[in-house]
Amino acid sequence: MSPSRDSHQTAAPAPGGDTTRERILTAAMEEFARHGIAGARVDRIAKLARTSKERVYAYFRGKDALYAAVAAREHVVIAEATQLDPSDLPGYAGRLFDYFVARPDHHRLITWGRLELPGTTAAADDHAQVLIARKIDLLRQVQQAGQLDRAWDPADVLALVNQIAMTWAAQPELSEAAATHAVDPAIAARRAAVVTAVERLFPRAH
């Protein structure tokens, strides 16, 4: 019998790196983004990764554990690609916008976890919390340096900037409508609106 979805524990990674494990994670990223966690199938992941179901379960003890590993890796990739500069929140919002416009499947991957694994203590959640705490601390530091209005709670700042930056990624039906009905249908216009909105709330530090 295959391991159940209830386990969030992952097997210890093999030392020195393992291309099979990386192939599994890459295949799982595609599968989870397309089908969600409940709809994902380990046999399809194994086939795409050119390995066996047994090999997948040798690394990850269930679909939730595999999702947690994929999502944890994705959180790191997003953080490295977008690089929060607490003194330039409009620029950060623009980078987030660009990232998810180019990779809508990555936004779906994170969204599936929020929908299907709410309130869990999966490794992905733990890792995301570490990254969030670091960003909040950076924002608090620029507040203390007088570069950001101290009236804002830094947690609110981060939440609002993230939400504005991902407005269009989170609402693909509006993106489709904007392409037809907006005064300027270009993606660049949507990006400019995001950056301007964040600029008005949280101006760049001078």
What tens digit of pLDDT does each residue of 125-175 get?
Answer: 577 888 999 999 999 999 999 999 999 999 999 999 999 999 999 998 998
Q: Residue 9: pLDDT above 60?
A: no
Angle at the Cα of 19 (from 13 to 24), degrees rounded to 5? 75
For the segment 54-81, the average pLDDT, to the nearest whole number, is: 93
pTM for the whole structure: 0.81
